[in-house]
Amino acid sequence: MARTAGSHSDITGPRVREAALSLFAQHGYAAVSMRQIAKDVGVQAGALYNYTPDKQSLLFDLLRGHMDELLTARAQERVPDTPLAQLEAFSKFHIRFHLERPLAVFISYMELRNLTPENFATIEELRRRYEGQLETILRDGHEAGAFHVVDTKITTLAIIAMLNGVNTWYRSGGRLSLPEVEAIYWDMVRKAVT
Amino acid sequence: MARTAGSHSDITGPRVREAALSLFAQHGYAAVSMRQIAKDVGVQAGALYNYTPDKQSLLFDLLRGHMDELLTARAQERVPDTPLAQLEAFSKFHIRFHLERPLAVFISYMELRNLTPENFATIEELRRRYEGQLETILRDGHEAGAFHVVDTKITTLAIIAMLNGVNTWYRSGGRLSLPEVEAIYWDMVRKAVT
DNA sequence: GCTTGATCTGAACAGGTGTTCAGTTAATCT
DNA sequence: AGATTAACTGAACACCTGTTCAGATCAAGC
């Protein structure tokens, strides 16, 4: 046996990435074998190497793709005039974007240590760029007298951590709708900095 | 060769747990082999089995030990009268306790998925018990009119997430002292709920 | 209809995995 | 000093790991 009926690169390729994303999120990068991913796709392990040079690239491409999407989506958002409105837009954007991609968000935080040093540096730089946007909003708002923040850097990290926490409990179709969640978190963020 | 000079159960035992904690935190449970742990201790892999029935127990004992310490330490804290003072005490206790054990905190959040279902349920119950204390404070304060919280359960998780975030950046001997960090976070928590 | 190239299989590679255990040594007890 | 036992080694077990590749098969282009 060899090539199977209906096999197509543009079908198998995405399925490999989907299977890897799902399995990495469930069990962790190190705990998932190439044979498990292959089984999920319905293919032999060797066939995966038509779509990725190695296992490490599979992880790295998922993380870089996620960060690229994040920065691109953020760049397309309208930027309001006042610091307060900017902070609201950022908070709600962050929650919405993250709730739409729970698995990618999850591995983007959990699997950083399984990246090679070079790959880690790349992802870290993208993350720094994103979080820097929040820090800029806070600093501008602080200088304009709109916010009361003791330490801009730490406040940035505290807000990001709080917003990311939403992924630990939110399940779509649950008790609260997305706008309700956005409102609750924005309420807490706003009060924490004013 | 066999028993080595100076070998002692009460010395090697703790060293096995320390090595496991350190390596699990660095590379993740699944990525660390028993032979790596043994090498760190300065012993052959087989000798580890004098101190743990298997690798899974090594992880579970670390997590359960951490949660036990957390609940015990919390139970020994004085409980203030007012909800606001209780929230302050909880926030500062949480930060202090977590900053003193960065590695144990780290694996307690990262390695939950590598526990067997039974072990996971045990740890989850202990965590629920701890977080329930914060939820009780928030509910009492809400009913007494001291706090303004839209959703008690979500606020609990948001605060925990924010406080846990401190472990992602704090390094002892850094720019800020422990009391300063406590003050900054308590300031944000207080404002977020009042 | 035939050729060409993309797609996949199945086996193989060298090395790593958790765990067990007979045998050996060092510390302790009498 | 001699016996006992706790502590450890080193080899072995069966199996899993990421990765490679010759060969088989299907889809597409002429």
Q: Which nucleotides of C are covered by protein (CB under 7 A)?
A: 5-12, 16-28
Give mean pLDDT, residues B152-181. 93
Distance between CA atoms of residues A187 and B168, nearest Å: 24
Q: Nearest CB to A192: which of B164, B166, B188?
A: B188
Instruction: Give chain A's domains with CATH numbers.
Output: 1-52 (1.10.10.60), 55-193 (1.10.357.10)
What average pLDDT does the segment A51-69 reach?
Answer: 98
For the CA of A74 and the C1' of C18, the distance in angstroms is 46
Interface residues 42-81 of B with strand C (CB < 7 Å): 45-46, 49, 53-56
Rounded-to-integer distance, Cα B161 and Cα B146, Å: 22
Label residue B37 by pLDDT band (50, 70, 90): very high
Identify the CA nearest to A19 among candidates A68, A54, A58: A58
- DSSP letter for B82, please: S
Average pLDDT, chain A: 95
Asked if B191's CB is within 8 angstroms of A194's CB, the reply is: yes
Q: What is the 3-state secondary structure (H, E, C) of B58-78?
A: HHHHHHHHHHHHHHHHHHCCC
Please, what is the angle between helix A152-164 and helix A83-100, to 10°?
40
A3 CA → D27 C1’, Å: 10
Please report the pLDDT score of residue B3 as a whole number. 62
B110 interaction partners in chain A (CB closer than 8 Å): 110
What residues in chain B have their Cβ under 8 A from chain A's Cβ atoms?
Answer: 26-31, 110, 113-114, 150-151, 154-155, 157-162, 164-166, 168-169, 176, 181, 183-185, 187-189, 191-194
**B150 vs A contacts (CB less than 8 Å):** 183-184, 187
Give the residue carrying structure tokens 């928030």: B138
Helix, strand and coil in chain A, % to nearest 5 = 75, 0, 25
> Each residue of B62-71: pLDDT tens digit?
999 999 999 9
Give the DSSP letter of residue A42. Answer: T
- Three-state DSSP class for B161? helix
| Closest residue (CA to C1') to nucleotide D23 in the complex | A2
| Predicted confidence (pLDDT) at residue B6 exceeds the cutoff of 80 | no
Specify the amino acid at residue B67.
Answer: M
- pLDDT attached to residue B1: 46
* pLDDT value, residue B8: 73
Q: Phi/psi of residue B151, each to 5°?
A: -145, 110
Other C-beta atoms lying within 10 Å of the C-beta of residue A114: 22
Residue A1 has pLDDT above 60, yes or no: no
How does pLDDT run across B78-118, given as a tens digit for each residue?
A: 999 999 999 999 999 999 999 999 999 999 999 999 999 99
Q: What is the pLDDT of residues A95-150, one digit of tens each?
A: 999 999 999 999 999 999 999 999 999 999 999 999 999 999 999 999 999 999 99
Residue A9 has pLDDT above 90, yes or no: no
Q: Which residues of A touch B176 (CB under 8 A)?
A: 151, 154
CA B98 to chain CA mean position, Å: 6
Q: Is the pLDDT of residue B49 over 90?
A: yes
Q: Which of A60-69, A81-90, B108-117, B163-172 has the lowest mean pLDDT?
A: B163-172
Give the per-residue pLDDT at B5.
Answer: 67
> What pLDDT, on a 0 to 100 scale, did the predictor assign at position B39?
97
Closest residue to B31, CB basis, from A114, A183, A193:
A114
SS3 assignment, position A140: helix
